[in-house]
Amino acid sequence: MEYEENTLVINPLEDMNKLKALASEPRIQMLNLLREQKRNINEIADVLSLPQSTVATHISILEEAGLILTESVKAKKGNQKICRPAFRELLIQFPEKQNSQNNYIEVEMPIGIFTDYQVTAPCGLCSTEKIIGLLDIADSFLNPDRMKAGLLWCGSGSFEYKFPNNTMYESKSLTKLEVSLELSSETPGTNSNWPSDITMWINKTEVGTWTSPGDYGDKRGKYTPLWWKLEGSQYGLLKHFSVTDEGSFIDGVKISNVTLADLKLPEHHSIRVKIGVKENAEHMGGMNIFGKGFGNYDQGIILRSYF
């Protein structure tokens, strides 16, 4: 079944209508039923043994909350409403509060909580304990255990993460948006001389590209678990992508003229961060993203908003 988006991140301080829509056992049953296939009101009523009028009321609430999508199609007698879920997953996330000692707000996202992805082999993911799903099978990235991922890799493709837009709740002016994460190239085995052009997008705006020198396996990563074979990627380099009013930078070196104004942050309740390797990149050398429990830096993807 196709979805409008993979994952919806719900801010419980603002999206109360969505929480109220979910606070009903019949509506939860309907959402679960629609995950299997599209259904009309009569079909839902039959499966759940509920009156059609009751189902229609619940469907209206779910539709108004944006949790399902409906379309009217011709039936034998008049029209019928076909229902399907708008999202594959629903995540509830509170916005982070500002650190009073430092003039920034920080949110750390586990690397497995991506809201969208596109990958080509070689690809896979693993937790600190085991491989998740099957190697080189893109559908493995839908495995619920992806939430525990400490390492993601792909030959080309991208992962997108949705962060709460905490800049909307701060009265001071934003001076810099920074994303930090541990990255390397990806090749079967390892090769320290294996360049790869890794690009970052924020709110669908291409910020810039960093060329990773290689895929590192000369020694075990500081946090990489012992069960992970030494022939596999061991660690990456910690990179800081930042956007200011003057342009975009990687580790302080300017990479593009994209500014904070280009990201149009006030227009969005979330900040979408996408990292990936384009299919037409000059150096298409794959990508590893290291999270907690892997590599040399025990962190996920960190978004900092400086004021």
Give residue-wise pLDDT tens across range 35-56: 889 999 999 999 999 999 999 9
pLDDT of residue 242: 96
Q: If you average pLDDT over residues 200-209, what whole number do you get?
A: 97
Work out the percent of the chain whose per-residue pLDDT is above 90.
77
CA distance 41 to 55: 7
Residue 247, pLDDT above cutoff 60: yes
Diameter over CA atoms, the chain: 70
pLDDT of residue 179: 97
pLDDT of residue 74: 82
Instruction: Tell me how far the alpha carbon of residue 203 is from its chain's centroid.
Output: 12
pLDDT of residue 4: 46
Strands 39-40 and 5-10: unpaired
| Nearest CA among 170, 167, 138 for reference residue 152 | 138
CA distance 109 to 161: 8
Bridge partner list, 85: 68
Give residue-wise pLDDT tens across range 123-165: 999 999 999 999 999 999 999 999 999 999 999 999 999 999 9
Q: Predicted confidence band at 295 (pLDDT cuts at 50, 70, 90)?
A: very high
Give CA separation, 157 vs 27, 61, 68, 113, 215, in Å: 35, 37, 28, 16, 17
Give CA separation, 141 vs 4, 120, 133, in Å: 18, 12, 8
Highest mean pLDDT pick, 33-37, 92-96, 177-181: 177-181
Average pLDDT, the chain: 91
pLDDT of residue 49: 94
Residue 3, pLDDT above cutoff 60: no
Instruction: Give Rg (Cα) of the chain.
Output: 22
CA distance 296 to 224: 8
Q: Is the dihedral of CA 63, 68, 71, 72 positive or negative?
A: negative
pLDDT of residue 217: 94
Bigger pLDDT: 18 vs 77:
18
pLDDT of residue 101: 55
CA distance 264 to 119: 28
| Nearest CA among 271, 20, 291, 296 for reference residue 151 | 291
Residue with the two structure tokens 């342009």: 247
